[in-house]
Structure 1
Amino acid sequence: MNNKLSKVLTKEDSSFIRDIVKETVEQIEEKLLGTVLRRLEILEGSVFEQKRDIEKLQNDVFEKNKQIEELKSKNEMLHAEKSTATIHNEFENNTEQYSRRNNIRMTGVLDDQERQLSSTVTQKIVSLVNEHLAV
């Protein structure tokens, strides 16, 4: 069979076949390279988008952490204000309770009006006491 092929193929034919094979291999190589390059471009685009998304998420996390810290400090400040307000309320109640000890509540005073000045009420009481008790 080799003899038959050798008779059919000449040196020129074998170089022609080599050229054809070489061109075919180069064409296949170019197609593969083109396919690989397209896939690489797609992957690069995807990687770029993912990188951008990651950076955005990192910025979001940074902002959220900043908000959390601000809320924590505000919460601590409100707790401190609440404690201070509670202390002030207790002090106010105690002070008011002890100040009532020296007060007298009088009812039935003639010409009694709401929101009268204390000096007016005092004058009326003094005149009533002087009149009725002859002091």
Structure 2
Amino acid sequence: MQAKGTAGGWQGKIAGEGSRKRVIFMELKQAIVIRSDLGMGKGKLAAQTSHASLSAYKKCEKENPDDAREWEEQGQKKIVLKVGSEGELLSLYEKMKKEIPCVLIRDAGHTQVEPGSITCFGAGPADEGKINKYCKELKLL
């Protein structure tokens, strides 16, 4: 069941059934930001983005369990974006982690990149507006 509702001037939607009814005031999204300069193959990219997505979700689940559950119920919206260097990635990570659960991913180095290479990070799930604030200038992978 979904219906419109308001609280304190904010418009939200009522979701759920019975005792699980709640008002939702934000759409949640996860962002995965990956380095394009490492020359990783498609399979490696897929594995690294999977590590980032799951790790960020687990962090959110511990820190914001309601957001984690709601993100699942909203369909697990996510976006995968690219940056051109480790410096760009770390700069964005440092900014985003101040208000969004973020996890940095370092590769073990068994296949395509050097051990300990920072390949990507996962951010959220979090308020889509916050994710977009930081990621609006990035290109899709």
TM-score (norm 1): 0.19
Q: Which has the larger radius of gyration?
A: 1
| TM-score normalised by length of structure 2 | 0.18
Give 1 or 2: higher helix fraction: 1
Higher strand share: 2
